Amino acid sequence: MSKIYPDKGKTYSSWQEEYKSKLVTAEDAAKLVRNNDVIMLAGGINIPHDFSVELSKRAEDLRNVTICLGLALKLYDYMQPQYKEHFRIETPFVGPVERMCLDWKTAEYIPVHLNQLAPWMEYRKPRIVGFGVTPPDENGYMNRSCFGGLVPRPSIANAEIVLAEVNSNLPWLNGDDLRIHVSEIDYFYESDATPTEIPEIPITDIERDIAHYIADLIPDGSTIQLGLGGLANAIGYFLKDKKDLGVHSEVVQNSFMELMKTGVVNNSKKNLHPGKLTATFCVGDKKLWDYCDRNEDFLFTEVAYNNDPYVIGQNDNLISVNNALCMDLTGQVGAESIRHRQYSGTGGQVNFVTGANFSKGGKSIMSLNSTYKDKDGNLKSTIVPFIPPGTIVTTSRNDIEYIITEYGVVNLKYQGVSQRVKKMISIAHPQFRDELNFQARRIGWI
């Protein structure tokens, strides 16, 4: 590489000349990293793969490098426990890779709402920002693709070095927020790495039961938000007879694609961005990426806008559907940890719960499997008198509305504690209702 730092003042006769001038190898890009750096990398399939591989090869040469990323789909060598003195990961997302890193003490979870990534990065001040992009179009614009909306524009503007991995396997997602010009990048390298697909999670019988109840709460013409996983796919199945649904959601997954193909989701009744499915990022497989590629029925925006509760609430009849891991009898939601162990993240749950409360005719729905099995195979209730010690409360009981398990639906909004307790017991697994009643009476709630 002929230079260590980009010549930001240089002028070029064309974007093609500029692109060629900034083109380096992934190995040279990794050499830009130095001790004590803070680096922000995009998440998911937009984490620059070749850079991460080459950076791992430099692990022994570097110290105290902090990498801010989320939802890693590959375990890179620099994440391994033997390099904990060399690299430190900070993440507001927790998936399987992050869980391993948390156990190894090579990563630390950052509690933050999803719409607050920009202020977090303003605090961390990354010197290098890196992400995957599509190849340039005829005007020199690239697309930041599936996870680009999670890399804040201010972080790109303020970074000393902006690095892009150019990969023709990435889809071009509609939305000006995701366009970025060759002139805004300091270094490029080209890659043909195959993006990691996330297969659809199979639907369980319990999820089918819960999805049936949820579908009954979604009238024609509503705007919906769904999360990831089997439940979202199950809900999609039960919405096939609905009409004129819209979507304002942080994530697009395969179930939305199927609803759009059948015309159930046409976004015609939305107050905000009518005719467009609005979202920030896209998680799925090649079938979904091909469907989203240059599809103008979508509008992808940065998360600071998409997940702003005031923006969400501009849609009338906004119905937010989120998941819980456990709940107490008064309505507190534990959705991200199993006791002290971080299992997922806060994500956009509170953003959309709040947005639904702002929406005229909006509804906030929290779904919960009534039981789980412990490590010995014993059946346990997820509805408990008190949140277990160490468990993080994700959503306050003050903001909770509809709660759904496979045993029914209750509405806790504006209900007193005794009414809440009785309603929560009514949707607990029948095996545990007597004990929950006994505990509630012993405490004095009923």
CATH of the domain at 145: 3.40.1080.10
Residue 278 lies in a domain: yes
**Does residue 310 register a pLDDT over 70?**
yes
Number of domains in the chain: 2
Among 145, 169, 191, where does a domain finish? 191
Among 191, 224, 248, where does a domain finish? 191
User: How confident is the model at residue 203, as a pLDDT?
Assistant: 87
Same domain, 49 and 151: yes
Determine what percent of the chain is predicted with pLDDT higher than 70. Answer: 98
Same domain, 293 and 171: no
Residue 428 lies in a domain: yes
Residue 7 lies in a domain: no
Same domain, 175 and 229: no
Residue 369 lies in a domain: yes
Q: What is the pTM of this model?
A: 0.95
194: nearest Cα among 285, 130, 282, 295: 285
Q: Is the dihedral angle over the CA atoms 258, 73, 249, 336 positive or is it negative?
A: positive
Summarize the confidence of residues 157-168 as an average pLDDT: 98
Summarize the confidence of residues 126-152 as an average pLDDT: 98
Same domain, 316 and 366: yes
Residue 64 lies in a domain: yes
User: How confident is the model at residue 3, as a pLDDT?
Assistant: 45
Under the banding of pLDDT at 50, 70 and 90, the label for residue 36 is very high
Residues marked as catalytic: 250
Same domain, 143 and 58: yes
Same domain, 223 and 117: no
For 324-350, the pLDDT digits (tens) are: 999 999 999 999 999 999 999 999 999
Same domain, 248 and 182: no
Summarize the confidence of residues 116-144 as an average pLDDT: 98
Same domain, 180 and 300: no
Angle subtended by helix axes 230-238 and 205-216, to nearest 10: 50
- Return the exposure string of 322-340: e unless at least 16 CB atoms fall within 10 Å of the residue's CB, then b: bbbbbbbbbbbbbbbbbee
Under the banding of pLDDT at 50, 70 and 90, the label for residue 323 is very high
Summarize the confidence of residues 418-440 as an average pLDDT: 98
Summarize the confidence of residues 62-91 as an average pLDDT: 96
Same domain, 304 and 367: yes
Residue 200 lies in a domain: no
Residue written as token pair 């469907």:
291
Structure tokens at 235: 């809900």
Same domain, 278 and 183: no
Residue 252 lies in a domain: yes
Domain of residue 323: give its range: 205-443
Residue 431 lies in a domain: yes
User: How confident is the model at residue 5, as a pLDDT?
Assistant: 57
For 167-215, the pLDDT digits (tens) are: 999 999 999 999 999 999 999 999 999 999 998 888 899 999 999 999 9
Same domain, 215 and 170: no
CATH number at residue 340: 3.40.1080.20
Structure tokens at 143: 């697309």
**Does residue 1 register a pLDDT over 90?**
no
Same domain, 224 and 180: no
